[in-house]
């Protein structure tokens, strides 16, 4: 199955809750203010978020006034155009210009952070890069072992300390080791944490400070992993993590299990943080670079 087909399959629930419901709503009806109000509610229910929903509906209202939207087909076409405008250009997790390129990976418990790291490591090694994984989640008993399994699968090196040791020390040693061995990329795993726990957020700040002592320009990417099924809670997590450590990109996991894929639009509209990776299944290749054009086509087809 090609990547675009996997994306279509992964977005099945979102397409059903968003595009198919829009078609049902407008079928056989005149596109007027009453319909647009219902449409805006539908968007909010699909976790597109109030700002994006208001922006899209406002643009559609203007087109209705200009007589550019008369029926269900016109509405769907205009809706697709507005979604495309919100998503803008794509951004990738890249490793250009720095050696090692350091990716600090963060997120709450249960979002698929370690799995995302493993798949990302495999993606890089498949493309000829050398990778070191840093097992800086020293709190969860199985976290180091889980990362070791992914390192083995990806053909990556791993730097680890004993369970319960200082996460910042692990991160520092991983970057130092990568520099001495001329490794291309370091991906740092961190403990899953509630974004509301200030002491754990302080620890993330410490990891970031310590990394920059070994390599002043690092981390080059602060990748926040969020679960698409969490909907608007993903926005709250992103805001708090961003305030603490400055998130540069988002990896959105579990899109294949969610009817709330509209959260991609909410993230783009409400936060100035690009979605860089999306997870649309369990396989390694199901972690994809986020391509807005392909996303829109898969959503509306």
Cross-strand bridge partners of residue 279: 287
pLDDT at 60 exceeding the cut of 70: yes
Q: What integer pLDDT is reported at residue 7 of this predicted model? A: 86
Domain end, chosen from 59, 87, 115, is at: 87
Which has more pLDDT, 232 or 89?
A: 232
Looking at the structure, do residues 203 and 243 belong to the same domain, yes or no? Answer: yes
Q: Is residue 93 part of a domain?
A: no
Residues ≥6 apart with Cβ < 8 Å to 50: 44
For the chain, the maximum distance between any two Cα atoms, rounded to a whole number of angstroms, is: 68
Separation of alpha carbons 296 and 11, rounded Å? 10
Q: Is residue 273 part of a domain?
A: yes
Looking at the structure, do residues 125 and 198 belong to the same domain, yes or no? Answer: yes
Q: Is residue 288 part of a domain?
A: yes
Looking at the structure, do residues 122 and 25 belong to the same domain, yes or no? Answer: no
Nearest residue to 236 (alpha-carbon basis) of 40, 47, 42, 43? 47
Sheet containing strand 157-159, edge to edge, reads: 157-159, 131-136, 185-190, 101-106, 221-227, 249-253, 275-279, 287-289
Share of the chain above pLDDT 70, in %: 98
Domain end, chosen from 41, 61, 87, is at: 87
Looking at the structure, do residues 229 and 294 belong to the same domain, yes or no? Answer: yes
pLDDT at 1 exceeding the cut of 70: no
Which has more pLDDT, 169 or 240?
A: 169
pLDDT digits (tens, 9 = 90+) for 106-163: 999 889 999 999 999 999 999 999 999 999 999 887 899 999 999 999 999 999 999 8
Which has more pLDDT, 176 or 262?
A: 176
pLDDT digits (tens, 9 = 90+) for 37-56: 999 999 988 888 899 999 99
Angle at 281 between CA 129 and CA 283, to 5 degrees: 45
pLDDT digits (tens, 9 = 90+) for 211-233: 999 999 999 999 999 998 888 88
pLDDT digits (tens, 9 = 90+) for 149-206: 999 999 999 999 998 899 999 999 999 999 999 999 999 999 886 655 677 889 999 9
Q: Is residue 95 part of a domain?
A: no
Looking at the structure, do residues 25 and 138 belong to the same domain, yes or no? Answer: no
Segment 5-21 shows an average pLDDT of 88
Which has more pLDDT, 240 or 95?
A: 240
Bridge-based pairing state of the strands 287-289 and 275-279: antiparallel
Looking at the structure, do residues 256 and 162 belong to the same domain, yes or no? Answer: yes
Q: What integer pLDDT is reported at residue 193 of this predicted model? A: 67
Looking at the structure, do residues 198 and 290 belong to the same domain, yes or no? Answer: yes
* Range(s) of the domain holding residue 239: 101-300
CATH number of the domain at 51, please.
Answer: 1.20.120.140
Q: Is residue 96 part of a domain?
A: no
Looking at the structure, do residues 63 and 119 belong to the same domain, yes or no? Answer: no
End-to-end CA distance of the chain: 17
Domain count, the chain: 2
Domain end, chosen from 28, 62, 87, is at: 87
Looking at the structure, do residues 217 and 108 belong to the same domain, yes or no? Answer: yes
Phi, psi (rounded to 5 degrees) for 48: -70, -20
3-class secondary structure, 1: coil
Separation of alpha carbons 300 and 19, rounded Å? 6
Nearest residue to 78 (alpha-carbon basis) of 96, 98, 95, 57? 57
Q: What integer pLDDT is reported at residue 145 of this predicted model? A: 95
CATH number of the domain at 143, please.
Answer: 3.40.50.300
Answering whether pTM is above 0.85, one says yes
Looking at the structure, do residues 127 and 246 belong to the same domain, yes or no? Answer: yes
Nearest residue to 289 (alpha-carbon basis) of 135, 91, 128, 108? 91
Cross-strand bridge partners of residue 224: 106, 250
Q: What integer pLDDT is reported at residue 154 of this predicted model? A: 96
Looking at the structure, do residues 207 and 112 belong to the same domain, yes or no? Answer: yes
Q: What integer pLDDT is reported at residue 195 of this predicted model? A: 52
Looking at the structure, do residues 144 and 41 belong to the same domain, yes or no? Answer: no
Sort 255 into a burial class: Cβ within 10 Å, 0-12 / 13-18 / 19+: buried
Q: Is residue 92 part of a domain?
A: no
């Amino acid at each position: 199955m090609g990547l675009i087909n996997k994306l279509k399959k992964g977005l099945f629930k979102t397409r059903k809750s968003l595009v198919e419901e829009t078609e049902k709503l407008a079928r056989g009806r005149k596109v007027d203010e009453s319909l647009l109000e219902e449409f805006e509610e539908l968007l909010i229910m699909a976790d597109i978020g109030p700002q994006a929903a208001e922006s899209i509906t406002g643009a559609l209202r203007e087109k209705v006034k200009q007589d550019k939207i008369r029926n269900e087909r016109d509405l769907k076409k205009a809706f697709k155009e507005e979604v495309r405008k919100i998503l803008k250009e794509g951004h990738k997790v890249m490793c250009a210009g720095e050696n090692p390129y350091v990716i600090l990976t963060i997120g709450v418990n249960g979002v698929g952070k370690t799995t995302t790291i493993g798949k990302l490591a495999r993606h890089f090694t498949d493309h000829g890069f050398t990778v070191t994984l840093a097992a800086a989640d020293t709190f969860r008993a199985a976290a180091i072992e889980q990362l070791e399994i992914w390192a083995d699968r990806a053909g990556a090196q791993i730097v680890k300390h004993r369970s319960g040791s200082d996460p910042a020390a692990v991160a520092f040693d991983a970057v130092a080791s990568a520099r001495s061995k001329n490794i291309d990329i370091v991906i740092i795993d961190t403990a899953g944490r509630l974004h509301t726990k200030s002491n754990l957020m302080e620890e993330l700040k410490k990891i970031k400070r310590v990394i920059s002592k070994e390599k002043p320009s690092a981390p080059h990417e602060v990748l926040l992993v969020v679960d698409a099924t969490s909907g608007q809670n993903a926005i709250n997590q992103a805001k708090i993590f961003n305030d603490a450590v400055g998130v540069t990109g988002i990896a959105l996991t579990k899109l294949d299990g969610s009817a709330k894929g509209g959260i991609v639009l909410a993230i783009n509209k409400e936060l100035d943080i690009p979605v860089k990776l999306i997870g649309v299944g369990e396989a390694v290749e199901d972690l994809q670079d986020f391509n807005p054009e392909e996303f829109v086509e898969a959503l509306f087809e």
